[in-house]
Amino acid sequence: MKELEMGEEPQNVQDFTSMWNAVWNAVITLFSTGYGDLYPRTFYGRIVAMALCFWGVLITSLLVVSVTNMLVFTQNEERAYSLLMRLHHKMKLKKLAVEVLQAAFIHRNTKKNDPTNRPLILLHFRMFRSHMISFRKTAHLIRTFDREQ
């Protein structure tokens, strides 16, 4: 029970005589987090905290710029990526063209060999139509991709 009372007593956490409290405050201020558990009360402490805030913003912005520059393609990498994407889409288009032709052939044979089976004819037509739609979407994607380059 005594531990509960001690835990509930308000404690003065504004103790900057402890080095770890000062380091904690500096790190939290540097990263612009500011939990509010420690804050400077003197003029000099507030000046140092403001300097730490500006320093933290500078470090963060330099980190963001350097990571962004590392992730951006060079001109040769951009050309290689563009070529690979065009080749990928053209291979995909060839596969989709085969699927369209297969679906059209199946639909035509079903209509020719079993003209009374309307549900099967409709099913094969829907398969043909879905393959045709995906073929057209991919062809459109290739055309727009080529225009962007």
| Better-predicted residue by pLDDT, 130 or 33 | 130
Q: What are the two backbone dihedrals, phi and then psi, of residue 14, each rounded to the nearest 5 degrees?
A: -85, 45
Give the H/E segment covering residue 24: helix 19-30
- Percent of all residues in the chain with a pLDDT value above 90, rounded to a whole number: 43
Contact 76, 90 (CB under 8 A): no
Q: Give me the pLDDT at residue 50, please.
A: 86
Model pLDDT for residues 46-98, shown as the tens digit of each residue: 888 888 889 989 999 999 999 999 999 999 998 898 889 888 988 999 999 99
